[in-house]
Amino acid sequence: MRILVARGSREREIEIEPSGTGYRVTVDGRLRLVDGRLGPSMRVLLDSRPIEATVRHDGAEVIVEFSGHAYAFRTRDARAPKLGRRERGEDLTRGELHAPMPGLVIEVLAQMGEQVEAGQALVVVEAMKMQNAFVAPLAGKVTRISVKPGMPVESGQLLVTVTPAIGPGAAPGKPAPPGGA
């Protein structure tokens, strides 16, 4: 699998291939051997050196904590050029939640018509043996669910649409103020 990982304005191409009990990971042409199981909390061997790290999602970013430092990344499938729109935030303001990489839908946590808060987990997708919870980009009502458990998804595929909350004192297209007043 080939993905692009961006940190700040720098983007790197990463290729990941299963190999024995681990992976062959090529970053910008440099081969790294990872032995162990990847997940939210990892203890792996990286080029025969022990490494401990945690990984979590914060909106559209993946946060890797390693050696006392946190690193934020955005990922996308190298085959999905349309994701430039998401990087500018257009899909987030429209309430669209897209898969950042190919995977398998494990669980749909939202229901049609449900009111959700920004940051609330809506869909769990497994990619590269990691389960990733994707969250609502804004507060509002779930108006479309495009996936179901067991369904494979491609990078850039629409998962869920949330229509922004409108309430007393809120202008169309703007979220309702806290407490609806």
| Residue 158 belongs to domain spanning | 85-164
Is residue 38 in some structural domain? yes
> By three-state DSSP, how is residue 106 classified?
strand
- CATH no. for residue 50? 3.30.700.30
Is residue 171 in some structural domain? no
Q: Of 77, 100, 117, which closes a domain? A: 77
Residues 60 and 19 in one domain: yes
Residues 73 and 95 in one domain: no
What is the count of structural domains for the chain?
2
Q: Of 55, 77, 99, which closes a domain? A: 77
Is residue 107 in some structural domain? yes
Q: How confident is the model at residue 149 (pLDDT cuts 50, 70, 90)?
A: very high
Between CA 169 and CA 116 the distance in angstroms is: 19
Tell me the pTM. 0.48
Residues 73 and 17 in one domain: yes
* AA identity, residue 100: P
Residues 95 and 42 in one domain: no
What's the token pair of residue 75? Answer: 């990922």
Q: How confident is the model at residue 11 (pLDDT cuts 50, 70, 90)?
A: confident
Is residue 175 in some structural domain? no
Residue 81 per-residue DSSP state: G
Residues 46 and 110 in one domain: no
Between CA 78 and CA 26 the distance in angstroms is: 14
What's the angle, vertex CA 141, arms to CA 139 and CA 142, rounded to 5? Answer: 110
Residue 45: Cβ within 10 Å count: 14
In tens, the pLDDT along 38-53 reads 667 778 888 889 988 8
The least confident of 72-76, 97-101, 167-171 is 167-171
Q: Which residues contact 155 (CB under 8 A, 6 or more apart)?
A: 76, 77, 79, 80, 83, 99, 100, 101, 102
Residues 63 and 97 in one domain: no
Is residue 170 in some structural domain? no
Residues 9 and 48 in one domain: yes
Strand partners, 105: 125
